[in-house]
Amino acid sequence: MKKIFSLLAIIAALTFSSCSDDNDDNITLNTEAQTTFSFKHTWNDTEVTSADFNTIQYTNENGEMLSIERLRYVISDITFSRDGQDDIVFDIYNLVDVTNNNNTTLSLDENIPTGVYTNVSFTFGLDNEDNAENYIDLNTENFNVPEMLGGGYHYMQFDGKFINSSDAEQGFNYHAIRAVDNPGMNPTFPQDTFFEVNLGAVTITNNATFQVQMNIAEWFKSPNLWDLNQYNQMLMPNSTAQIMMYENGASVFSLENIIQ
């Protein structure tokens, strides 16, 4: 008998909830919205997906031809700022894996109130506090940074090949991490290299999808003209390279569109 009651209860619940949903849509204005972030990747104006990987076909600002073989990065702490009210902060992280087309879309678990926001932002990488946590899913993805470099996680792994100055194909590992000096038992950290990406002001009236774009070419452009012949591999323990990545990262992301 118990089984029947619980079944009936479920049916009733389903019926009622679907009715109330209908009412909402028809009568009241939305007071809450679900937000989704979708990440798209380009080389300047050309879209890049993993189908475009492994072919030397892109030319960076410094004139080197290159291919992409792997691209994945972490974004975290999505923040909605409002005038006169507390920020709404989602203390989350997401590994955008372009190689396997995983997690290129992220829907936030909780809705936010509709209304006017002065800024929407996220962190590229992990701030130092988050970077000190143990994330078993990122461990499983082999995204760790060695303990002697301070531990924590990569912010980005961007691997490929370029044609070097001797006309030969050579690998590059544009791996962004927290800049570090004195690798070993007591590494030191010259400056922070995670950064905030500001998507700007937005009025949210409905469920919204933020279409965020990473222009991969920008990693090589400005303010530091990137010379792959000089900076190609073994960049993790190279704090100069890390700080240059951080600086170039400032112009990498943009908000393409908000669909709501």
Partner 1 sequence: MKNWLLFLILVLVFACSSDDKTETYEPTPLALNIPEIFEQNIISPVIPNNNPQTVEGVALGKKLFFDNKLSGDETMSCASCHSPQLAFTDNTATSDGIDGIFGTRNAMPLFNLAWNYGERFNWDGQALSLERQALEPVQNPIEMHANWEDVVLKLQNDPDYPELFRLAFKTSTITKELVTMAIAQFERTLISANSKFDKFLLGQATLTPQEQNGLNVFMDETRGDCFHCHGSPNNPLWTDNIFHNNGLDANFTDLGLGAVTGDSNDNGKFRSPSLRNLAYTAPYMHDGRFNTLDEVIEFYSTGLQDSPTVDSLMKKLDQGGVNLTTQDKADLKAFLLSLSDPSFLTNTDFQD
Does residue 16 touch partner 1 according to CB under 8 A?
no
Does residue 132 touch partner 1 according to CB under 8 A?
no
Q: For tokens 């469920």, name the residue.
A: 207
Name the minimum Å distance from CB 170 to partner 1.
8
**What CA–CA distance (Å, rounded) separates 113 from 30?**
9
Name the minimum Å distance from CB 233 to partner 1.
5
**Binds partner 1 by CB under 8 A, chosen from 25, 168, 186, 230:** 168
- Please work out the total of residues on this chain that contact partner 1, with binding judged by CB under 8 A: 33
CB-count exposure of residue 258 (10 Å: 0-12, 13-18, 19+) = middle
Does residue 40 touch partner 1 according to CB under 8 A?
no
Q: Which of 38-46, 103-111, 156-164, 208-216 is the region at the interface with partner 1 (rule: CB under 8 A)?
A: 156-164
Query: How many residues comprise the chain?
Result: 260
**Binds partner 1 by CB under 8 A, chosen from 28, 140, 186, 230:** 140
**What CA–CA distance (Å, rounded) separates 33 from 161?**
43
Cα-flanking dihedrals φ and ψ of residue 110, to 5°?
-115, 145
Name the minimum Å distance from CB 98 to partner 1.
15
Does residue 19 touch partner 1 according to CB under 8 A?
no
**What CA–CA distance (Å, rounded) separates 195 from 45?**
24
Does residue 237 touch partner 1 according to CB under 8 A?
yes
Cα-flanking dihedrals φ and ψ of residue 257, to 5°?
-170, 150
Does residue 170 touch partner 1 according to CB under 8 A?
yes
* Alpha-carbon distances, residue 186 vs 105, 141, 250 (angstroms): 38, 26, 29
Say if residues 239 and 150 touch (Cβ distance below 8 Å): no
Does residue 161 touch partner 1 according to CB under 8 A?
yes
First CA to last CA distance, the chain: 47
Q: Which of 13-21, 40-48, 107-115, 157-165 is the region at the interface with partner 1 (rule: CB under 8 A)?
A: 157-165
Question: Contacts with partner 1 in 55-94 (CB under 8 A)?
Answer: 69-70
Does residue 142 touch partner 1 according to CB under 8 A?
yes
Residue 29 has a CB neighbour count (10 Å cut-off) of 8
**Binds partner 1 by CB under 8 A, chosen from 125, 150, 160, 187:** 160
Strand partners, 95: 74
Does residue 115 touch partner 1 according to CB under 8 A?
no
Report residue 6 as tokens: 């619980």
- Which of 70, 82 has the CB closer to partner 1? 70
Chain positions contacting partner 1, by CB under 8 A:
1, 3-4, 7, 53-54, 69-70, 134, 136-137, 139-140, 142, 144, 146-148, 159-161, 168-173, 183, 233-237
